[in-house]
Amino acid sequence: MTLSVAIIGAGPAGFYAAESLLDVPGVRIDIIERLPTPFGLIRAGVAPDHQSTKQVVRRFEQTALQDIVHFYGNVEIGRAVDLDELRGFYDAVVLAVGAGLDRPLDVPGERLDGVYGSASFVGWYNGHPDFRDLAPRLGPGPAVVIGNGNVALDVARVLVKSEVEMATSDLPDFAREAIRAGGIADVFIVGRRGAADAKFTRTELREIGALEACDPIIDPDDIPAPAVNPVDRDGRLREKTLAVLRGLAVLRTVKPKRLHFRFHRAPVAIEGDDAGAVRAVQFAGTQMKDGRIVATDMIERIACSFVVAAIGYRTGPIAGIPFDADRGLFPSDDGRIAPGVYAVGWAKRGPTGVIGSNRPDGTTCAEQIAADAPVLASRGLKPGRAAFEACMRARGVRTITFDDWRKIDAAEIAGADQLAPRRKFTSLGEMLAVLAESGKPICGPVPRAVRSDGDC
Ligand code: NAP
Which residue's C-alpha comes closest to atom 33 of ligand 1? 150
- Kindly indicate the confidence band of residue 440, based on its pLDDT and cuts at 50, 70 and 90: low
Name residues whose C-beta falls within 8 Å of residue 152's C-beta, 6 or more positions apart in sequence: 118, 145, 146, 189, 200, 308, 310
CB atoms within 10 A of CB 259: 24
For residues 100-121, average pLDDT = 96
Q: 384 CA distance to ligand 1 centroid (A)?
A: 38
Could you identify the atom of ligand 1 that is nearest to the CA of residue 147? 7
Q: What pLDDT is stored for residue 456 in this prediction?
A: 56
Nearest to 421 by CA among 52, 20, 102, 94: 52
Q: How do residues 242-259 score in pLDDT, each as one tens digit? A: 999 999 999 987 999 999
| Domain 3-100+315-437: assigned CATH number | 3.40.50.720
pTM of the model: 0.94
- Which stretch of 141-150, 200-209, 436-445 has the lowest confidence by average pLDDT? 436-445
Distance between CA atoms of 2 and 389, rounded to whole angstroms? 17
- Kindly indicate the confidence band of residue 453, based on its pLDDT and cuts at 50, 70 and 90: very low
Task: Parse the chain into domains and list their residue ranges.
Answer: 3-100+315-437, 103-312
Which residue's C-alpha comes closest to atom 23 of ligand 1? 312
Q: 420 CA distance to ligand 1 centroid (A)?
A: 28
Q: How do residues 324-340 score in pLDDT, each as one tens digit? A: 998 889 999 999 999 89
For residues 125-143, average pLDDT = 95
Classify residue 378 as exposed, middle or buried by CB count within 10 Å of its CB (0-12, 13-18, 19+). Answer: exposed
Give the mutation target among 43, 150, 234, 282 for probing the ligand 1 site: most ligand atoms within 8 A of CB. 150
Q: What pLDDT is stored for residue 333 in this prediction?
A: 97
Assess whether pLDDT exceeds 50 at residue 203.
Answer: yes
Distance between CA atoms of 44 and 11, rounded to whole angstroms? 10
Which residue's C-alpha comes closest to atom 7 of ligand 1? 311
User: Taking the mean position of all CA atoms in its chain, how far away is CA 449?
Assistant: 28
For residues 53-64, average pLDDT = 98
Q: What pLDDT is stored for residue 446 in this prediction?
A: 44
Q: 267 CA distance to ligand 1 centroid (A)?
A: 15
Q: 149 CA distance to ligand 1 centroid (A)?
A: 4
Q: What pLDDT is stored for residue 445 in this prediction?
A: 45
Q: How do residues 269-307 score in pLDDT, each as one tens digit? A: 999 999 999 999 999 999 999 889 999 999 999 999 999
Which residue's C-alpha comes closest to atom 4 of ligand 1? 149
Distance between CA atoms of 112 and 103, rounded to whole angstroms? 16
Buried b (16+ CB within 10 A) or exposed e, 214-234: bbbbbeeeebeeeeeeeeeee
Do 314 and 103 meet the contact criterion of CB atoms below 8 Å apart? yes
Angle between helices 12-21 and 358-378 (to 10 degrees): 50
- Per-residue CA distances from 152 to 137, 198, 206 (Å): 18, 11, 14
Q: What pLDDT is stored for residue 438 in this prediction?
A: 83
Q: 273 CA distance to ligand 1 centroid (A)?
A: 29
Name the residue with higher pLDDT: 385 or 453. 385
User: Residues 76, 79, 81, CA angle at the centre, nearest 5°?
Assistant: 75
Q: What pLDDT is stored for residue 13 in this prediction?
A: 98
Give the mutation target among 53, 54, 189, 199 for probing the ligand 1 site: most ligand atoms within 8 A of CB. 199
Could you identify the atom of ligand 1 that is nearest to the CA of residue 203? 41
Q: What pLDDT is stored for residue 442 in this prediction?
A: 43
End-to-end CA distance of the chain: 24
Distance between CA atoms of 382 and 373, rounded to whole angstroms? 12
State percent of the chain over pLDDT 90. 89
For residues 93-107, average pLDDT = 96
Q: Cα-flanking dihedrals φ and ψ of residue 302, to 5°?
A: -110, 115
Q: 299 CA distance to ligand 1 centroid (A)?
A: 23
Average confidence score pLDDT of the chain = 94
Which residue's C-alpha comes closest to atom 21 of ligand 1? 147
Assess whether pLDDT exceeds 80 at residue 451.
Answer: no
Distance between CA atoms of 34 and 67, rounded to whole angstroms? 22
Could you identify the atom of ligand 1 that is nearest to the CA of residue 103? 15
Q: 199 CA distance to ligand 1 centroid (A)?
A: 6
Residues with CB under 6 A from ligand 1: 105, 146-152, 154, 191-193, 199, 201, 204, 266-267, 310-313, 351-354
Q: 150 CA distance to ligand 1 centroid (A)?
A: 6
What single string gives the DSSP state of each residue in 183-234? Answer: T--EEEEE-SS-GGG----HHHHHHHHT-SSEEEE--GGGSPPPPSS--SHH
Q: 147 CA distance to ligand 1 centroid (A)?
A: 6
Which residue's C-alpha comes closest to atom 29 of ligand 1? 352
Q: 309 CA distance to ligand 1 centroid (A)?
A: 10
- Kindly indicate the confidence band of residue 443, based on its pLDDT and cuts at 50, 70 and 90: very low
The domain made up of 103-312 is a member of CATH 3.50.50.60 = yes
Q: Going by DSSP bridges, is the β-strand pair 186-190/306-309 parallel, antiparallel, or unpaired? A: unpaired
For residues 59-68, average pLDDT = 98
Distance between CA atoms of 75 and 135, rounded to whole angstroms? 26
For residues 79-86, average pLDDT = 96
Q: What pLDDT is stored for residue 418 in this prediction?
A: 85
